[in-house]
């Protein structure tokens, strides 16, 4: 005996950890490709998210030495409890990718994507395609679990075209998954139709790990209904351009107009800091216009933002609030701007040197 914990002891500790995080915190920020990057996760956690899941990255690409995934997954300085999501079809590739991510970032857990219905992902045998093959899904969880000393979680759907996740969820839990998130729709539904929380609860009742439901939680009422089932709760689309939603779900106040502007301004400055330039604001336009929508103002100037000055102008002209004004600056949730993502800076440095 060398005294290091067995796989079963590590799994039990992982289950307790996620149960504890769910117990003290509010909702979880669900993974959203193109959105749940370090700047957005920082805001969601500051407003009360129990934990946050990164954008998914390809295990195959990481295993083959393409480190773009490291830049996508990178936590910001001081980020705690981050869960990094992988999509994978092959256990050996998943293990290699897991080792890289854990060596680089020491996340709280690695999450296996078993819910993405996008063709590019499904064609490679990844995402929701894994639901067809519980044995392979379990083998991937086992391989990650054996490769790294951090727990594995899984995010899946109700099924492919009908509710049928019981078997695959049991298989991944048996293989060592310490928590399971279930999006209450089938793959065929994609994001349409109502999420079925009865079906999520039914699948959850058959396993003894924390289960986090996902789908259509948009306000304190839908959050309360979901929590009343004894499940953890993930929030995805409703949090876009609205990170203070996590505070509201915990009983906190809705933001003033000044606070909405302050948060959007912080988000934009962090985005520029993290990605290393204002060019990156183009990718934030969707969320900037979502902030505008929260205040009921015309989205058009926000979807054209190229620079921080453009954003400041958009707020001044639409509702007469200056993000650089003292009243707004006083509501900045952090007071500092994220530094450049180190993994991104290294990649760019190598490209320039080549």
Ligand X SMILES: Cc1cc2nc3c(=O)[nH]c(=O)nc-3n(C[C@H](O)[C@H](O)[C@H](O)COP(=O)(O)O)c2cc1C
Residues recognised as catalytic: 116
User: With 0-12 CB in 10 A as exposed, 13-18 as middle and 19+ as buried, what is 207?
Assistant: middle
Q: Burial of 163 by CB count in 10 Å (0-12 exposed, 13-18 middle, 19+ buried)?
A: middle
What would you report as the CA-atom Rg of the chain, rounded to the nearest whole angstrom?
Answer: 20
Closest among 343, 338, 339 to 45, alpha carbons compared: 338
SS3 for 278-307 is HHHHHHHHHHHHHHHHHCCCCCHHHHHCCC
Query: CB of residue 313 vs ligand X: minimum separation in angstroms?
Result: 28
Shorter beta-carbon distance to ligand X: residue 144 or 314 = 144
Shortest Å distance, C-beta 179 to ligand X: 13
For ligand X, the closer of residues 236 and 338 by Cβ is 236
Tokens of 87: 């999509």
Alpha helices in 129-278 (DSSP H): 134-147, 166-174, 197-204, 220-227, 245-249, 257-275
Q: Using the minimum distance from each CB to ligand X, give the nearer residue, 87 or 302.
A: 87
In the complex, minimum distance from the CB of residue 219 to ligand X, in angstroms, rounded to a whole number: 11
The structure tokens listed for 149 are: 């000393």
CB of 243 to ligand X, least distance (A): 14
Q: How far is the CB of 127 from ligand X (least distance, A)?
A: 8
Nearer Cβ to ligand X, position 16 or 132?
132
Looking at the Cβ atoms of 240 and 261, the one nearer to ligand X is 240
Q: Identify the three-state secondary structure at position 155.
A: strand
What is the distance in angstroms between the CA of the first residue and the CA of the last residue of the chain? 49
Binding site for ligand X (CB under 6 A): 30-34, 55-56, 85, 113, 115-116, 155, 183, 191, 195, 214-217, 235-238
């Amino acid at each position: 005996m060398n005294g290091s914990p067995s796989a079963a002891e590590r799994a039990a500790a992982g289950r307790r950890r996620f149960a504890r995080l769910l117990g003290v915190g509010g909702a979880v920020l669900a993974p959203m490709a193109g959105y749940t990057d370090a700047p957005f996760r920082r805001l969601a956690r500051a407003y009360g998210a129990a934990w946050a899941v990164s954008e998914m990255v390809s295990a195959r690409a990481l295993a083959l030495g393409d480190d773009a995934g490291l830049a996508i997954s990178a936590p910001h300085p001081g980020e705690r409890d981050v869960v990094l999501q992988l999509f994978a079809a092959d256990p050996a590739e998943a293990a290699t990718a897991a080792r890289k991510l854990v060596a680089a970032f020491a996340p709280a857990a690695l999450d296996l994507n078993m819910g993405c219905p996008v063709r590019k992902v499904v064609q490679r045998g990844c995402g929701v395609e894994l639901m067809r093959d519980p044995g392979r899904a379990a083998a991937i969880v086992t391989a990650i679990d054996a490769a790294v000393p951090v727990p594995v979680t899984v995010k899946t759907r109700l099924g492919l075209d009908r509710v049928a996740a019981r078997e695959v969820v049991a298989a991944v839990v048996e293989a060592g998954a310490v928590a399971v998130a279930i999006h209450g729709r089938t793959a065929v539904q994609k994001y349409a139709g109502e999420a079925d929380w009865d079906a999520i609860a039914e699948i959850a009742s058959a396993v003894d790990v924390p289960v986090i439901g996902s789908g259509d939680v948009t306000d304190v009422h839908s959050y309360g209904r979901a929590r009343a089932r004894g499940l953890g709760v993930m929030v995805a689309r409703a949090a876009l351009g609205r990170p203070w939603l996590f505070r509201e779900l915990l009983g906190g106040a809705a933001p003033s107009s000044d606070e909405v502007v302050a948060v959007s301004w912080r988000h934009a400055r962090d985005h520029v800091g993290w990605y290393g330039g204002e060019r990156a604001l183009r990718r934030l336009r969707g969320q900037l216009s979502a902030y505008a929508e929260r205040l009921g103002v015309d989205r058009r100037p926000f979807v054209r933002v190229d620079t921080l000055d453009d954003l400041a102008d958009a707020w001044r002209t639409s509702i007469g609030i200056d993000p650089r004004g003292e009243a707004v600056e006083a509501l900045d949730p952090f007071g500092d701007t994220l530094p450049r993502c180190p993994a991104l800076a290294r990649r760019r440095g190598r490209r320039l040197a080549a």
